[in-house]
Amino acid sequence: MFRILFVQPCIPPNTGNAIRLAANTGSELHLVEPLGFDLSDAQVKRAGLDYHEMAHVTVHRDLDAAWEALDPTTVYAFTAHASRFYTDVAYSPGDVLMFGPEPTGLSDEMLADPHVTDRLRIPMLPERRSHNLANSATLAVYEAWRQHGFDGAV
């Protein structure tokens, strides 16, 4: 399946929702430290409901450790500063869908990382800053999964 990468997430419920997303889609969730919360935080647990045990979640000490563990072929970095839409690419299982911290998003340095193979955006109206992190990950994962016929879904 697909691999969701949250770099230094700050808002506990977003990560809780992503845990639930990972459990419901068979995706992996990778979190890069520092996290803005502890995974035992009540808000993380509340948002993730009883899906924590069904999700594959890995915490990495930094982005270099994540790259070493993931050994990615394709990394899509999601940013409001990209010109291509998230629906303009053909996803493959194992692709990494990379998202930055709330509220700043991925830094220029992270976007320039040599592992990043493409930058994608989720459309929104002008004069808006960003989408919610968990909602963005959901849109991306479901588009990628849709392209593969929702393989394994009921």
Q: Residues within the annotated binding site for S-adenosyl-L-methionine? A: 100, 122, 130
Cis peptide before 34 (omega within 30 of 0): yes
Instruction: Estimate the share of the chain in helix, then strand, then coil, as percent rounded to the nearest 5.
Output: 30, 20, 50
DSSP designation for 62: S
User: Which parts are annotated binding residues?
Assistant: 100, 122, 130
Helix 133-146 and helix 12-25, axial crossing angle in degrees, nearest 10: 10
